[in-house]
Amino acid sequence: MTANTLTTVLVTSDMLEIDGLHAFDFSLDAQKLLITAMDGRAEKRWSFSLEQVQAATFDDALQSWTLVGDSGEHRLICLSAFTGNNDDEDDTDDVA
């Protein structure tokens, strides 16, 4: 079992995968977790109470969280994105 809780992992996550859908639009506050994702042209939304988030369990085999909400059980993967640097750095090491 991981030492982290879903609440602490969400703070450092840039993107989520919920039930196979990627979600960049999510927020966690003192009362709830809100997630919005697109499934084709359809917008899907999930809402979990803070108690439901705190009760989530980590599955070591699948490297994901099991989160039970009002609409049933959901599989959640927390992801951290890489940030790109658009600065073109000149290689000045070869200058004599």
Per-10-residue mean pLDDT for the chain, 96 residues long? 78 94 94 95 95 95 94 93 58 50
Residues 6 or more apart whose CB falls under 8 angstroms from that of 32 comprise 47, 48, 49, 50, 53
pLDDT of residue 85: 57
* Cα separation, 79 vs 93, whole angstroms: 36
Mode of pairing for the β-strands spanning 25-28 and 21-23: unpaired
pTM (two decimals): 0.78
Name all domains of the chain by residue range, CATH numbers in brackets. Answer: 6-78 (2.30.29.190)
CA gap 92, 16 in Å, rounded: 40
SS3 assignment, position 43: strand
